[in-house]
Amino acid sequence: MQWGRILTAMVTPFTAEGKLDIDGARKLAVHLVEHGSDGLVVAGTTGESPALTHEEKIELFRAVKEAVGDRAAVIAGTGSNSTAASIELSREAAALGVDGLMLVVPYYNRPSQEGLYRHFEAIAAATSLPIILYNIPSRTGRNMEAATTLRLAAIKNIVAVKEASGDLDQATAIIRQAPADFLLYSGDDSLTLPLMAVGGYGIISVAAHVAGEKMQAMVSAFTAGDTRKAAALHRELFPLFKGLFITSNPVPVKEALNMLGLPAGPVRLPLVGASKEEKEKIAAALRETGLL
């Protein structure tokens, strides 16, 4: 399983009327792969998965796979807070030929650690595709503890975790004890380099929408042993990492893409577009990073 170190959590482009922009999704997918992304995660948090219908997700998986499938990994976001629904969507995504699945910790229903284990175990048993677990307690209301991730890492087709807990100790505990071929991806752009320093593999990124090549340069410098250059690039990108999270993701990154003339369009309710002040801060972050 070689998906690369920079996977972009792709936004879902919408038309001005809020309809799914499939042509825009194809164009954006190609642009991202040509500008630093090793692979794409489709219909994840940044893709506004809670606001997409089942049918729209299938349409997106198909379109992105057709657009870049021979050049980059396409990972389908098929997780939800219903185990049965996650299994159904995972099977349909597999039939479309996606390269892997990303499964978020079930949100709102706050399962125990044993419940988390059984949820992911059941989905893994229903597919042969490789799976990335996704831990983001700020959105789900439940942290998947290192011990649970390590139990799941023993399942053959659970191959990675996107760790967005912001907890370097938790990430270190996973890296320290997981099988050698189990990968930990950062779920926070600004923690990419710190996590790689303790053995993390890469990033499932928001910032790579607009700075994929610079992020590739940072990661490549680190893996080549040039930590000074990697740190300098991290510092250069830092205003962007922070500027893209001044309000709920993906509001700022969609605004940034629109500013750069790339397909994104509006967000869907219950999210609302960036305010005038927020737009100014996003534009300033793009300028400071030399992108605008």
Positions marked active-site: 134, 162
136: closest CA among 112, 92, 96, 106? 106
8: closest CA among 187, 149, 137? 187
Q: Which residues does 146 contact at the CB level (< 8 Å), separation at least 6?
A: 170, 173, 174, 177
Q: How many Cβ atoms sit within 10 Å of the Cβ of residue 225? A: 9
Under DSSP, is residue 151 helix (H, G, I), strand (E, B) or coil?
helix
- Spatial distance between the Cα atoms of 214 and 35, rounded to a whole number of angstroms: 9
Tokens read off for 77: 């976001």
Q: Which residues does 240 contact at the CB level (< 8 Å), separation at least 6?
A: 189, 207, 210, 211, 285, 286, 288, 289, 291
